[in-house]
Amino acid sequence: MTLSLRASELVDEIFQRLVVPLYFRTDISVDEQIRHRGKPLPYLNVAKSLIKEFGFKTIVEIGSMREAMGHALTTFHAPCCNDGHSTLHLASTSADVFTVDINPRSAEVLAPYAREYPNLSVATGDGIAFLQNFARPIDMLYLDAWDVIAGTDYAEKHLEAYRAAQPHLSKMCLVQIDDTDIKNGGKGRLLIPQMIRDDFELITWGRQAILVRD
Ligand SMILES: C[S@@+](CC[C@H](N)C(=O)[O-])C[C@H]1O[C@@H](n2cnc3c(N)ncnc32)[C@H](O)[C@@H]1O
C-alpha cells in the first residue's frame, strides 16, 4: 500500500469522532485554545503509525518542545498538550530524530530525556541554517517553529524552511506542519499551496496539516 493511501486510512480511523474547528479569521481566547481548539496528538498518532509501518529512519523537527511535560507520554492533559510534546512523541519511535530550536531553553527542557531516547539529537540554532547543512535523507519533516504572530513573517519562514529541506527530502516522505487552523492557514499559509504545486498530497488540514509524497 502507498504512503498516501495508508495515511488517508489512518486519518479516517483516528479522526472518526473528532471535530476540528478552523479559526481562519477569528482570534481565539486562551480558554478556546485549551478547551475547543484541535490538538496535535491525533496527527502525531497518524505520523507515529506511518513512521513504524513504512520504516522511516530519519526525522527532522524544526521547533522543539519548549515546556516540560507534566505527565506520561501516554496520557493527555489538554492545558499541557496544546503545543504537542512533539519531540518526545517522535523520539518514542525507532527513527533517529534531529530537533533544533533557536531558544536554548528547549535543549534544557529535553536534557532529562537523553538517556530514555538515545535516538534523539537536540540542537540549538536557526532551523533554516540547520536544514541547509543537514547531510542525511529526511523521511519526515515536522515544522513547528516561528509562532503565528500578526506582523511577523512566520508563513514566509516556514516556506523558506521547506525550501531548505527540499534537496534532502527522501522521495517517499511525510511533512507535518503545526498551527494551520488559524490565521488563514497559519504556519502553512504559503507552504501548503506550494507543496501541493510540488505534487505533495494533502492528507488532512486542521490544527495540523499532513502532506505526503509517494
Ligand atoms: C510552538 S513551539 C514548538 C513546540 C513543539 N513542537 C511541541 O510540540 O512541543 C515553537 C518553537 O519554535 C522555536 N523557533 C522560533 N524560531 C525558530 C528558528 N528560527 N529556528 C528554530 N526554532 C525556532 C521557538 O523558540 C519555539 O520553541
Strand partners, 52: none
Q: What is the pLDDT of residues 93-135, one digit of tens each?
A: 999 999 999 999 999 999 999 999 999 999 999 999 999 999 9
Residue 5 CA, ligand 1 centroid: distance in Å: 30
Q: What is the pLDDT of residues 171-183, one digit of tens each?
A: 999 999 999 999 9
Any atom of ligand 1 within 6 Å of the Cβ of 142:
no
pTM above 0.95, yes or no: yes
CB 49 within 8 A of CB 81: no
Task: Identify the CATH number of the domain in which residue 129 sits.
Answer: 3.40.50.150
Q: What is the pLDDT of residues 179-209, one digit of tens each?
A: 999 999 999 999 999 999 999 999 999 999 9
Nearest C-alpha to atom 25 of ligand 1 is from which residue?
103
Any atom of ligand 1 within 6 Å of the Cβ of 144:
yes
Domain housing 52 = 3-213
Residue 138 CA, ligand 1 centroid: distance in Å: 19
Any atom of ligand 1 within 6 Å of the Cβ of 66:
yes
Residue ranges of alpha helices (H) inside 15-101 are 30-35, 41-53, 86-91
CB 197 within 8 A of CB 208: no
Taking the CA of residue 145 as reference, the ligand 1 atom at the shortest distance is: 12
CB 39 within 8 A of CB 121: no
E strand or H helix at 210: strand 208-213
Q: What is the pLDDT of residues 20-69, one digit of tens each?
A: 999 988 889 989 988 899 999 999 999 999 999 999 999 999 999 999 99
DSSP 208: E
The mean per-residue pLDDT over the stretch 68-88 comes to: 91
Any atom of ligand 1 within 6 Å of the Cβ of 102:
yes
- Cα–Cα distances (Å) from 132 to 135, 169, 174, 199, in that order, read 9, 12, 18, 22
- Overall number of domains in the chain: 1
What is the percentage of the chain residues whose pLDDT exceeds 90?
Answer: 90
Probe target for ligand 1 pocket from 108, 132, 144, 187, with the most ligand atoms within 8 Å of CB:
144
